[in-house]
A and B are shown apart, each in its own frame.
Chain A
């Protein structure tokens, strides 16, 4: 009978060290560490193009935006992050409020409309996305959909709406309602949704549930539906999206932005990455490929034709400051029993 070689207890550390040595490490050349809450596919595309252009390697740490923001706050000055790239403005406003962000180079800020970047000039807007209501076309007629997002909390919508309160896209919506209607109204709305809504982990879950007919409508950001349509093919989709009109809070536009951390030891390279994100070639690449489905913010770049032209949207007029930093929104969710 063959025997395995004896285990040599003298080399424990060596064994573990060798095993870890197998794991590929990032190259030791110039590299940036990116904390990213944007879609991995989008970020992968952008970081590869950036590396090709500048020779700077990008290491990506992915997560949900509030998770990364709270991580950055805890890590403070010793964080290994150079750049933070998120899907929504509140996390950036939170870090800005805590004084963790460095000022963005003026030339970079000049590439996008001033109201789409951080009011303190410490983060730059990169892409815009619209909040919509996805609905299953065989379960409900578009004419029967509510005029306002707030109507979904009314008793007649019980069992007919899906939400993802722990998705980073839901929190800014709560902040917007607080800004427009006040905190008590926002809490009432959430309590109503607690009665009415089916809960999912993320927007992907909501849009999939609406499409398969598990629930009639769902609150999502627009491009989740576009992605589902891409995956299933136009003919197989059983859902559509409804744009809230008349400056209703339901038509909220969110800004996906990026910032350089004050703690970063690669300030120059990090600023270069921000400049790249809002550069015309990068923004054109995103709007031409069927990957991202967000509205480019750089001047003169046309959005993906699948999207409703940005000029036809009627979002509520809110500043980044008004939408807030998610901290109170998360508390409201808990008060309403949603998380």
Chain B
């Protein structure tokens, strides 16, 4: 620890005017260490299996079946998400589709619907939609925006000159699309698809309700059977390895290849392709997409809200006090998790933007690793760790907040880092030269300037925590029930009407926060600072 700290200090001293303050470095190392903790503990537990047993355990039909299910779903979902995401992006960005601005907003909105709520909606519509088909529908609805967003951004950034040149050299519209536009979209497309794969690997609630078996649901099943020993840790490591592979792939795709436009001057706006009569089927397609992704969850929750819950399936009558308690728990943990994640991310974001070096990059990458660790793995590791070694934290609210902070640190870090990078360094230096200590600088210069960015990061984490299921289910202190665990408990028992009020409040929180993010924090963050 001290070695790393002094190395960061030295390196910074060479390139900048002063060394990173030791407390900040310690805080940053603490944040990264927290992320490594569950993975490290899982690895240590897995070493309890002898190499021969490990081979037997890994090369067995169950693992094959899980791989087949998971990889099969990832391949299918990647194809559908890529197709729908890219097509939607092209129509919104490059055609004269009527109302394309509105469609553009609606196409992103499904990100605000937690996947296990759409899962609840489809499952409660018909239990014929379980298994593979149901999983594919839910995953596509939930994650195609992950492809839509980068592809739309890439389409906006393309230089029309290339396409015009291709056309002038005799390419047809389609030839131009496949030979000029599509190759330029490749990084965005691949990056989006890898994110879809990563989220599919880590998703638990949606598959659990759909009764589709993947690594996450199997880990939970083994835990329920009381078999949470070294063998389970080994299975968890297989899952983590798959996730990390996706994460590295995504990093490579983002970093590699140059598709930027060179040359002086501004580029012309792209010509919008006239759709003609095909605008009607295109609009029908968008309407169907929005119906499936937003209409379904909102509609089904509304439907079940109006149903009288029968005694057999909803005796945990969704009474108002219970709903209120679950809402307060979700919001309380959401705020605590957001605060914890931003507090952990702040020092990390600061030293990576102000004192860039090999060591700070390592710390940052380590923190981003959290994106590749599924909630169930973190939760199981923290349970074993606390029950064996840190008893006072076992079954405590603090532990759950730590779990949230670990899981969502990357989202907080992205916002914090971007906000820090925008603050001119000269301001801090001026403040220091006028006699302020670093803490006062943080409070009086950095905090006001980075406020909107930190707020955006906190809001994102808040939404994720308030709707989080997996680790809440496993780590919540005795007697604590959140909106997510109530929806899960009732839906597992086929009590759809009883789950509806909780699902409705969850959707409300999620949509409101997203709106806040897009309209208020987004505007403040992006409009120039006065």
Contacts and interface: CB of A to CB of B under 8 A. Distances in A.
Interface of A: 1-10, 12, 15-16, 19-26, 33, 39-42, 44-45, 59-64, 66-67, 69-71, 74-75, 78, 80, 166, 168, 171, 194, 199-202, 204-205, 208-209, 211-212, 214, 226-228, 230-231, 289-291, 326, 330, 333-334, 337-339
Contact of A208 (B127, B213, B331, B397): B127
B82 interface: no
Contacts of B315: 41-42, 44-45, 289, 291
Contact of A63 (B224, B231, B439): B224
Contacts of B398: 20
Interface of B: 60-62, 126-128, 130-131, 208, 211, 213, 217-218, 221-228, 231, 310-316, 325, 328-329, 331-333, 335-336, 339-340, 342-343, 346, 387-388, 391, 394-395, 397-398, 401, 439, 442-443, 447-448, 450-452, 454-455, 478-480, 489, 492-495, 521, 523-524, 527, 529-530
Nearest to B315: A41
Contact of B217 (A26, A201, A326): A201
A211 to B, nearest CB: 7
A33 B480 CA distance: 12
B447 A9 contact: yes
Nearest to B450: A7
B493 A41 contact: yes
B331 A204 contact: no
A231 B504 CA distance: 21
A29 to B, nearest CB: 14
A9 B524 contact: no
Given A70-B228, A166-B224, A3 B448 contact: yes
Contacts of A333: 225
A7 B420 CA distance: 14
B227 A334 contact: yes
B127 A3 contact: no
26 contacts: A2-B524, A3-B448, A7-B454, A9-B346, A12-B339, A15-B335, A16-B336, A16-B343, A19-B339, A20-B336, A20-B397, A21-B332, A33-B479, A40-B489, A41-B315, A41-B316, A41-B495, A70-B226, A75-B394, A199-B213, A212-B127, A214-B130, A230-B310, A230-B313, A290-B310, A330-B226
A15 B339 contact: yes
A234 to B, nearest CB: 12
A230 B496 CA distance: 13
A331 to B, nearest CB: 9
Given A202-B492, A204-B492, A204-B494, A61 B478 contact: yes
A143 to B, nearest CB: 27
B219 to A, nearest CB: 11
A19 B335 contact: yes
A213 B142 CA distance: 28
A168 B224 CA distance: 8
B157 to A, nearest CB: 26
Contact of B328 (A2, A23, A230, A334): A23
A69 B224 CA distance: 10
A45 B397 CA distance: 26
Contacts of B447: 6-9
A326 B452 contact: no
A23 B479 contact: no
A22 B225 contact: no
Nearest to B443: A9
B489 A62 contact: yes
Given A8-B443, A21-B332, A61-B479, A205 B211 contact: yes
